[in-house]
Chains A and B, each alone.
Chain A
Amino acid sequence: MSTTVTTTVDARGQSCPGPLVELAKALKSASSGDLLELLATDPGSRSDVPSWAEISGNELVEASERDGDFRYLIRKA
């Protein structure tokens, strides 16, 4: 299981459902256990990314915010 980020998805500036669509696309080419980083500015992502993780069964490892920039670490199931 990787502890370093394998793919970064930069969805900054995109609104719902852009960040999740970009994340889902990146996830297709990732392997199980890969750690993906999602960067977003959509404030809706604060609730949407955890919901997405719950529905999709992938693990939200970390969520952080800095000056309106959101960063999420997701581990592919």
Chain B
Amino acid sequence: MVLTVRVVIRGTGHTRRGVLGVAAATLGSSALAGCRIFDSGPDRPSAPDPLQPVLDEAVALAAAYDRAAAGQPGLAKRLTPLAADHRAHIAELTRVIGGTVRSAGASGASSGSPGPGTDAKVALAELRTAERSAQRTAATACRTAPAARAALVGSIAACRATHAEALR
């Protein structure tokens, strides 16, 4: 583009001001084109919401508790209220993000969760590890969240920390 402008100068003797005007106009239009291509194209899927990972983990954790309770009926009474907390988080996060809930299988956090036959102690330890990891995700999201979301995500981070404590 710069080369083209120089050629124009030599060939036609345009004043500097005129050339700069052309250059500015050219830059302006390419910047607009850039906007269309990279920033706000209606066909391009929008970037995931920063709270999507927090929601995904809530979905995965709720499912992990269900599986653990199914595999260890003796733990069900202890685990059911914690799963209910995650379901409350899913409802709030879904409302705030304004999207739909993906299935639990989509998240890697559920892959190592306990299933039938797992020892109760192991099941609790695995859930505790998952809660701690999910707490870190929520804490990180809280630090960078806009003011309107900070309290909600902060409460979710704190709740996950209390789950890790309740599983001890």
Co-assembled chains A and B = no
Point out residues on A near B: beta carbons under 8 Å: none
